[in-house]
Amino acid sequence: MAEQNTATEGEPQDLTDGFHLIIDALKLNGFETIYTVPGIPITDLGRFAQAKGMRVISFRHEQNAGNAAAIAGFLSKKPGLCLTVSAPGFLNGLTALANATTNCFPMILMSGSSERETVDLQQGDYEEMDQLAIAKPLCKAAFRILHAEDIGCGIARAIRAAVSGRPGGVYLDLPAKLLGQTMGAEAGRKSLVKVIDPAPRQIPAAEPVARALDLLKGAKRPLIILGKGAAYAQADAEIRALVEKSGIPYLPMSMAKGLLPDTHPQSAAAARSLVLQKSDVVMMIGARLNWLLSHGKGKAWGPPHAKRFIQIDIEPKEMDSNSEIAAPVVGDIGSCVSALLEAMGDKWKAPPAEWISEVKEKVKSNVERMAPRLQNNNVPMDYHGALGALRRIIKDRPDTVLVNEGANTLDFARSIIDIYQPRKRLDVGTWGVMGIGMGFAVAAAIETGKPVLAVEGDSAFGFSGMEIETICRYNLPVCIVVFNNNGIYRGTDVNPTGGADVAPTVFVKDSRYEKMMEAFGGVGVYATSPDELTRAVVEALDSGKPTLVNAIIDEKAGTESGRIGNLNPQSVVAKK
């Protein structure tokens, strides 16, 4: 927005300022949405962005705005934008930025900050904090812009850092003074940078591709593992073609579910333990050998050193991080998968029939074992009854985005609810973090325009629950189902001293979460049976009205920490 300035010497000049240069730079680079919590010194930045046609989604807590930006980055392959106030707001957003970096989601956290001179002398400014220094070790890159004429380059650098190579979080420090700085409008316009090719393709050399295929060809019991990097890459058709042409069973990591429909005949999701144990050559596509894959070694993986790994990843330093990688293929997944497909030629032989049938039999028996439990209409509900109902709903509406967090609610939903399309399952990711629920749900609705079903443990919901006001305010098609079992993991713990305080894992019994939604004008439903749950969710998805279903789960159902209770240290002296 140019203003007339008559105060400077000579001719009157059109002026612009830091606020408008930032917005112009963002718009020039195709950004449409900012996730934020307004306040000093960035309130006007949000206002002006809205005035200039950007969508400015205002949250109740910065961590949720940050989580929204992070998942927007995952869904769109462009950095999600989060805008916060200084020190405390910045710190609230920082958790989401660190989590985004850990998960390889591109996002930019822009925070207002107080004056450098005062901060550096620690003179006690309003919300004083050396934010740049604090952000640096927790994200992929951190920059500060001090001069209006550097805004173009600063934003360009932030974009490139977030999306090139392994994606991640970037911090951009915006001192209050910068926002008000003026410069000539024409010079300002020329200083902006439109980023060309922000995430250049990284094409693998022929040799690593040939090495990988040689290893795969010689395998007796090959396995493909698809990770969320593969989902992020948006190379859906190529990945499906590679899996199908190879004939190899594949295991989807949680957020890679749906890259191929979970009902695909090559899916080994329901034979997870077996394929990890017995495979001899494993090809990871955008998946890391971190804790979620037991670091590629130990009991879960069968005899030591019996496996050979192929890893496709954009990050060369990922190779050998946990286990030896016999055939590293470094490049972007789209290019790597295309190169593999081409080099496979037309005469690719399917893996040995005994292996395929062994995996299929295990899948069949696990699926058959689970099936009857998913039909139960028990009151109070158990996880299988409630999730069986939601599984049928997603089957009928495969374009619904499923957001999922909790412990038992997460673990049961991951294996029970089949996903049919890429990037339709968003969850706690690499850290197993609680609190992503409402931020992810808001951004999923906004970025995809599809209905969102958020399946939340009652504890998990509490971390971001206040954002149901945000969901109602923007009238988003989000249906939240709170799996209410009166506590963390389950609701049955007691205080061993007999004192008045309840056990630390226990909540108020029979909490009426649905009334929270009603308080903001949304629809609240109290559901005690799978049939009631089905009716409520179907109605919510049909109407698109913000809805919260309080799903009453047996407080005895569930186990400590879901399926990862083994990670809890055990005391040798105390008994639970």
Residue 83 found at the interface with ligand ADP (CB under 6 A): no
Q: Which is nearer to ligand FYN, 123 or 273 (CB)?
A: 273
CA 497 to chain centre: 41
User: Scanning the structure block, which residue is given the tokens 């609705």?
Assistant: 445
Applying CB under 6 A, among 242, 314, 393, 549 the residue interacting with ligand ADP is 314
List the interface residues with Mg ion, window 446-465 (CB under 5 A).
457-458
Half-sphere exposure of 234 (CA within 13 A, CB side): 8
Dihedral Cα 348, 352, 355, 356, nearest 10 deg: 50
Under a CB-based contact definition with an 8 Å cutoff, are residues 225 and 253 in contact?
Answer: yes
Is 407 one of the binding residues for ligand FYN (CB under 6 A)? yes
Sign of torsion, CA 294 567 383 438?
Answer: negative
Q: How far is the CB of 202 from ligand ADP (least distance, A)?
A: 8
Considering only the stretches 229-237, 331-339, 362-370, 537-545, report the one whose residues sit in contact with ligand FYN under the rule CB under 6 A: 362-370
Sheet holding 250-252, edge to edge: 250-252, 222-226, 281-285, 308-313, 327-330
Which tokens in the block code for residue 149?
A: 């004429």
In the bound state with ligand ADP, the residue whose beta carbon lies nearer, of 120 and 320, is: 320
| Closest approach of ligand FYN to the CB of residue 506, in Å | 15
Segment contacting ligand ADP by CB under 6 A, of 110-118, 314-322, 452-460, 516-524: 314-322
Residue 332 lies near Mg ion (rule: CB under 5 A): no
Rounded least distance, CB 109 to ligand FYN, Å: 23
Per CB under 6 A, the list member of 2, 138, 241, 292 interacting with ligand FYN is: 292
Query: Closest Cα partner for 1 from 9, 22, 10?
Result: 22
Residue 46 near ligand ADP by CB under 6 A: no
Binding window for ligand FYN (CB under 6 A); candidates: 8-16, 139-147, 188-196, 268-276: 268-276
Task: Check whether the bond before 380 is cis (ω within 30° of 0).
Answer: yes
Could you tell me which stretch among 39-47, 76-84, 89-97, 404-412 binds ligand FYN (CB under 6 A)? 404-412
The residue with its CB nearest to ligand ADP is: 229
Return the number of the residue (457 or 477) whose C-beta is nearest Mg ion.
457
Q: Please say which residue, 90 or 420, places its beta carbon nearer to ligand ADP.
A: 420
Nearest to 483, CA basis, from 452, 509, 457:
457
Q: What SS3 state is found at 58? A: strand
| Least Cβ distance, residue 216 to ligand FYN (angstroms) | 23
Question: Could you tell me which of 411, 418, 365 has the C-alpha nearest to residue 392?
Answer: 418
Only one of the segments 51-59, 348-356, 379-387, 481-489 lies at the binding site for Mg ion (rule: CB under 5 A); that segment is: 481-489
Site string for ligand FYN, 423-452 (x = CB under 6 A): -----x---x--------------------
- The nearer residue to ligand ADP, 244 or 315, going by C-beta atoms, is 315
Q: Can you state the angle between helices 206-217 and 333-344, rounded to 10 degrees?
A: 60
Q: What pairs with residue 117 in β-bridges?
A: none
Closest by CA position to 432, among listed 407, 452, 456: 407
* Greatest Cα pair distance in the chain: 86
Instruction: Specify the DSSP element, H or E, that contains 330.
Output: strand 327-330
The residue with tokens 């004939």 is: 247
Angstrom distance (rounded) from CA 226 to CA 255: 9
Decide if residue 219 touches ligand ADP (CB under 6 A): no
Residue 147's CB: how many other CB atoms inside 10 A?
13
Are 407 and 489 in contact, with CB atoms under 8 Å apart? yes
Applying CB under 6 A, which part among 287-295, 378-386, 510-518, 547-555 lies near ligand ADP? 287-295
Pair of tokens at residue 553:
């789960």
In the list ligand ADP, ligand FYN, Mg ion, none, the entry touching 432 (Cβ below 5 to 8 angstroms by class) is: ligand FYN
Could you say which of ligand FYN, Mg ion, ligand ADP, none residue 103 binds, taking C-beta under 5 to 8 angstroms by partner kind? Answer: ligand ADP
Tell me which stretch binds ligand FYN (CB under 6 A): 149-157, 163-171, 173-181, 271-279: 271-279
Between CA 439 and CA 458 the distance in angstroms is 16
User: What single-letter DSSP state applies at residue 8?
Assistant: S
What is the per-residue binding string for Mg ion in 403-442, x denoting contact by CB under 5 A? ----------------------------------------
Within 13 Å of residue 300, how many CA atoms lie on the same side as its CB? 14
Q: Which residues bind Mg ion (CB under 5 A)?
A: 457-458, 485
Q: Which residues bind ligand FYN (CB under 6 A)?
A: 254, 269-274, 292, 366-367, 370, 407, 410-411, 414-415, 428, 432, 561-564
Q: Which residues bind ligand ADP (CB under 6 A)?
A: 103-104, 166-167, 227-229, 232-233, 253, 255-256, 286-288, 290, 292, 313-315, 318, 332-333, 430
